[in-house]
A = this chain, B = another copy of it.
Amino acid sequence: MQNLQINPQRLWDMLMETAAFGGTPKGGVCRLTLTDLDAKVRDWFKAECEKVGCTVRIDEVGNMFALRPGRRNDLPPIAMGSHLDTQPTGGKFDGILGVLGGLEVLKTLHDLGYETNAPVMLVNWTNEEGSRFAPAMLGSGVFAGVFDRAYADSREDRNGVSFKDAIEAIGYRGEVPAGAVELGAMFELHIEQGPILEAEGKTVGIVKGVQGMRWYEATVIGKEAHTGSTPMNLRRDALVGTAKLIEAVNAVALAHPGAVGTVGLIESKPNSRNVIPGEVFFTIDFRHPEAPVLDVLEADFAAAVAKIAEATGLEITWKRIWDSPPVAFHPDLIEAVREGAAVAGLPAREIVSGPGHDAAYIARVCPTTMIFVPSKDGISHNEAESTTFDECGAGAQVLLNAVLTYDRRFAA
């Protein structure tokens, strides 16, 4: 195995070539799912896979499966995969590295005429980002049975175009029923989208799972009034109450190691310089790798809300709108990644994914894990997203090593 080396220059060239499908002046990519630009990169992807002897099948929600046969084609394939769609002001690496890294693995195996035991497969999952059609991870979600096809078809973008119409317009509605392709395992290479690897000087993240995540919406009702004529003691300022709640979210997360808590969205009404805010809506995002800790975060926040409502006389309502349980990846695949990084001589650390990924849904139907490489300054979902030439190459190399390590068990 030590002799199989991916070609980092070829990988980098593919990253730069595909970045032109939706490239932005600031060096990012705007390639929303199921648009004409997405069709272009899908066509390109299909042709490249076929060049190296793969057969490409497409399922009914547009997921693309490129199969490279192995020695024992009775076995379900060892898959690699991620997504080629991007955020509206996305970067060149989020998702794309996982697909093109997998393509580089296929090209390397092809160049060397290497025959794996199990077949190897590369997947491009549809609509991971969710920025055109909510929710995110829709293609892998339908594949894993989290959603059904009718639900996916019904999703609409901001212009009222349905997923159904969009996928048919670009000709990527496949014949294969969703979930009909059997996977033996899946490795997803991805950029970290966070600052931990960079901060610790590690090149590889051995991803043990995905954090649990709970989303909440809160509304604070006070009383709208004129800023000039309403004495401080007669005010019920919804924004001052919200400020205390924002600090509470922050304090609750800080009090529990490994937890994160964020108020990402805030809307104050009427949002006028000379009117005391009468109503504020905001969102809360709590994450932790363990569900019991998520329960504690929620309870601590509830206590803070009660205290602040009591102290301020404001009416505070809130509810949990989404609960994504923690995902534990498969120990055998995690071990394969650890070995793959060690063989490549790359500094690695275990990590838990903060963001959700296709792998989180695929883990429900087959052994799954992920490989992370650093994101410069932790920046992602942003045109400034950056991972170096060497880091991209390292990721693809570990992906190859992990697939071959895992494939060894089928030697018999």
Contact B250 A246 (CB under 8 A): no
The answer, yes or no, to whether A369 is at the interface (CB within 8 Å) is: no
Cβ of A263: which chain B residues have Cβ within 8 Å of it? 239-240, 277
User: Can you list, as one digit per residue, whether each of A361-389 has a CB less than 8 Å from chain B (1) or not (0)?
Assistant: 00000000000000001111110000000
- Nearest chain B residue, comparing its CB with the CB of A321: B273
Complex Cα–Cα for A357 and B141 (A): 59
Q: Is A225 an interface residue (CB 8 A)?
A: yes
Inter-chain contact B355/A226, CB cutoff 8 Å = yes
A272 on the B face (CB < 8 A)? yes
Q: Name which residue of chain B comes closest to A283, CB basis.
A: B273
Residue of B196, B272, B377 near A264 (CB, 8 A) is B272
Smallest Cβ-Cβ distance to A254: which chain B residue:
B232
A268 at the B interface (CB under 8 A): yes
Q: Are A354 and B243 in contact (CB under 8 A)?
A: no
- Distance A246 CA – B381 CA, assembled complex (angstroms): 29
Q: How far is the CA of A114 from the CA of B377 in the complex (A)?
A: 80
Interface string of A219-235 (1 = CB under 8 A from B): 00001111111111010
User: Looking at the complex, which one of B192, B232, B265, B378 makes contact with A272 (CB distance below 8 Å)?
Assistant: B265
Cβ contacts under 8 Å, A193 to chain B: 226, 228-229
B250 touching A247, Cβ below 8 Å: no
Residue A319, interface by CB 8 Å: no
In the bound complex, residues from chain B placing their C-beta under 8 Å from that of A237 are 250, 262
- Which of B230, B247, B265 is the one whose CB lies under 8 Å from A354? B230
| Closest B residue by C-beta to A278 | B382
Q: Residue-by-residue, is A166-190 near B (CB-CB < 8 Å gives 1, otherwise 0)?
A: 0000000000000000000000000
A237-292 contacts to B (CB < 8 Å): 237, 239-240, 242-244, 246-247, 250, 253-254, 259-268, 271-277, 283, 285, 287
CB distance from A338 to the nearest CB of B (A): 21
- Residue A215 is within 8 A (CB to CB) of chain B in the complex: yes
- Check A194 for interface membership: any CB of B closer than 8 A: yes
State in angstroms the CA–CA spacing of A297 and B286 once bound together: 36
On whether the beta carbons of A227 and B262 are closer than 8 Å, the reply is yes
Q: Does A195 contact B (CB under 8 A)?
A: yes
A229, B355: Cβ atoms closer than 8 Å: yes
- Neighbour of A250 across the interface among B240, B261, B265, B377, CB < 8 A: B240
Given known contacts A194-B225, A228-B353, A266 and B254 CB-to-CB distance under 8 angstroms: no
Cross-chain contact A232 with B253 (CB below 8 angstroms): yes
Contact of A265 among B194, B265, B271 (CB under 8 A): B271
A194 adjacent to B260 (CB under 8 Å): no
A273 to B224 alpha-carbon distance, docked (Å) = 25
Residue of B at shortest CB range from A258? Answer: B231
Interface centre among A228, A234, A283 (most CB of B within 10 A): A228
Residue of B nearest to A228 (CB): B354
Asked if A117 is at the interface (CB within 8 A of a chain B CB), the reply is no
B271 touches A268 (CB 8 A): no
Cβ B260 vs Cβ A231 within 8 A: yes
Q: Which B residues are in CB contact (< 8 Å) with A285?
A: 227-228, 273-274
Q: A224-B379, A240-B247 are in contact. List 6 more A-B contacts (CB 8 A).
A: A193-B229, A224-B382, A229-B354, A242-B246, A264-B272, A274-B285
- Could you write out 9 A-B pairs with CB less than 8 Å apart? A194-B228, A223-B377, A226-B378, A228-B354, A230-B354, A232-B250, A240-B263, A242-B246, A247-B247
A-B interface, 7 closest residue pairs, ranked by CB to CB distance from nearest: A194-B229, A228-B354, A229-B354, A243-B246, A243-B243, A227-B262, A228-B355
